[in-house]
Amino acid sequence: MKICIYGAGAIGGYLGVQLARAGADVSLVARGAHLAAMRERGLTLLAGEEKHTVHPRCTDDPTELGVQDFIIITLKAHSITGVSEKMQPLLGPHTRIVTAVNGIPYWYFYKHGGQYENSTLESIDPGGRQWRELGAERAIGCIVYPATEIEAPGVIRHVYGNNFPLGEPSGESSSDVARLADLFVAAGLKAPALDRIRDEIWLKLWGNVCFNPISALTHATLDVICTDPATRALSRAIMVETQAIAETFGVKFRVDVERRIEGARKVGAHKTSMLQDLERGRPMEIDPLVTVVQEMGRLTGIATPALDSVLAMVTQRARIAGLYDGVSTAADPRALAVA
């Protein structure tokens, strides 16, 4: 089984080490100093008191790797469109693409049913390019729950978590998901196969849509956002709007708003990924975590005043910092593309 991890940063590097240790045929696509360090010294994972170093194939040129059985995309979601053409040499007739990214994935409406079947969302897949070049039919959903960070080039620090739920967009059981889940488990990871993968996508997004932009605006950690009365109330308002939109698309939430907020509070003094990106001068995931919810709200006719206000402010904050290159607002619903 040949596996390419495309975007071997913090999460991709963590997966790369664990899968390589389990004996998988893993290749990593990375760039810059991180790639140079992995080529020279291997890829090291620090997990508690343990230290593991592996030496998988590492490259910035996918043409060196050939056709893969699975491509696990661990890029920031807003970066995928820019590299979808470069992934083409990795694709064969049976290649599956695992979207281990935050937010709504490009394939969301594939085998979704209803009036939006096979639609694309402009805020996450401008012009439907990912849908065309990667293929929605190749997709396997994956939610990323672990927290990891690049401690130094070629060195990944595991902070907490090892859960990567997987699922077919159709909700069907498949041999591909079963094979991948078995490999993840052999690598010491949790990989439950879900028949409602979209529910889990929204459960993760439910926190990201509010906590991430609020943290970027306030520089507050999760514990502060969830205990301060004003930011907790704002988070709740955005989550209520988001839940109304998701349920219109048939999503079922297995916890309520207060329990979801409490779960985030218990994580403690954690900086969200958006705040970390801001502090490190990296483009922030505004569109796949926030703008896409606004766009889907407009499709359903559900007003999102709380989300709209926070989105406007965080977008302006990113522009001022030179960290925003996405779409400033969701497309007009009438422009929704059908693949």
296-305 pLDDT tens trace: 999 999 999 9
- Residues 242, 100: one domain? no
Q: Which helix (H) or strand (E) holds 167?
A: strand 166-167
Q: pLDDT (tens digit, 9 = 90+) per residue, 175-186?
A: 999 999 999 999
User: What is the arithmetic mean of pLDDT over 77-106?
Assistant: 94
| Residue whose tokens read 């290649």 | 95
Q: Which helix (H) or strand (E) holds 150?
A: strand 147-152
Would the pLDDT of 201 be above 80? Answer: yes
| CA dist list (Å): 69 to 3, 26, 163, 253, 262 | 6, 11, 22, 32, 39
Confidence of residue 337 (pLDDT cuts 50, 70, 90): very low
What is the extent of the structural domain holding 214? 198-336
- Listed residues 142, 175, 195: the one ending a domain: 195
User: What is the arithmetic mean of pLDDT over 311-322?
Assistant: 94
Question: Domain total for the chain?
Answer: 2
Closest to 104 (Cα-Cα) out of 205, 241, 194: 205
> pLDDT: is 270 or 332 the higher one?
270
Judge contact between 131 and 339, C-beta under 8 A: yes
Domain containing 275 — which CATH number?
1.10.1040.10
pLDDT score, position 327: 59
∠ CA 220-322-213, nearest 5°, is 30
For the record, the structure tokens of 11 come out as 């999460």
Would the pLDDT of 130 be above 80? Answer: yes
Any idea which of 50-59, 241-250, 275-284 has the lowest mean pLDDT? 275-284
pLDDT score, position 77: 82
Question: Is 2 annotated as catalytic?
Answer: no
Question: Positive or negative CA dihedral for 117, 76, 100, 7?
Answer: positive
Judge contact between 10 and 148, C-beta under 8 A: yes
- Residues 222, 111: one domain? no
Confidence of residue 329 (pLDDT cuts 50, 70, 90): very low
- Listed residues 173, 195, 217: the one ending a domain: 195
Domain containing 139 — which CATH number?
3.40.50.720
pLDDT score, position 154: 96
Residue 106 burial (10 A CB sphere; 0-12, 13-18, 19+):
buried
Would the pLDDT of 142 be above 50? Answer: yes
The number of helix segments (H) and strand segments (E) in the chain equals 12, 13
Helix (H, G, I), strand (E, B) or coil at 128: helix
- Residues 226, 137: one domain? no
**β-bridge pairing 2-6 and 70-73:** parallel
pTM of full prediction above 0.75: yes
User: What is the arithmetic mean of pLDDT over 17-30?
Assistant: 96
- Residues 171, 254: one domain? no
- Residues 260, 212: one domain? yes
Would the pLDDT of 334 be above 60? Answer: no
| CA dist list (Å): 152 to 34, 38, 43, 110, 226 | 8, 11, 11, 38, 31
Mean residue pLDDT of the chain comes to 93
- Residues 191, 203: one domain? no
- Residues 48, 102: one domain? yes
- Residues 36, 158: one domain? yes
Would the pLDDT of 214 be above 90? Answer: yes
- Residues 262, 184: one domain? no
- Listed residues 195, 214, 240: the one ending a domain: 195
pLDDT score, position 339: 36
For the record, the structure tokens of 181 come out as 């889940």
Q: pLDDT (tens digit, 9 = 90+) per residue, 114-123?
A: 999 999 999 9
Catalytic position from the list 204, 252, 266, 271: 204
User: What is the arithmetic mean of pLDDT over 32-43?
Assistant: 96
- Residues 206, 322: one domain? yes
Q: 309-314 contacts: CB < 8 A, separation 24 or more? A: 310/210, 310/213, 310/214, 310/217, 310/234, 310/238, 311/213, 311/286, 313/213, 313/217, 314/213, 314/216, 314/217, 314/274, 314/284, 314/286, 314/290
Judge contact between 279 and 68, C-beta under 8 A: no
Q: pLDDT (tens digit, 9 = 90+) per residue, 148-191?
A: 999 999 999 998 899 999 999 999 999 999 999 999 999 999 99
User: What is the arithmetic mean of pLDDT over 50-76?
Assistant: 96
Would the pLDDT of 330 be above 70? Answer: no
Confidence of residue 79 (pLDDT cuts 50, 70, 90): confident
User: What is the arithmetic mean of pLDDT over 307-317?
Assistant: 97
Judge contact between 14 and 148, C-beta under 8 A: yes
Specify the DSSP class assigned to residue 163. B
Q: Report the share of the chain in percent with pLDDT over 70.
A: 96
- Residues 25, 103: one domain? yes
Confidence of residue 55 (pLDDT cuts 50, 70, 90): very high
* Phi, psi angle pair for 163, to nearest 5°: -100, 125
- Residues 126, 262: one domain? no
For the record, the structure tokens of 118 come out as 């096979």
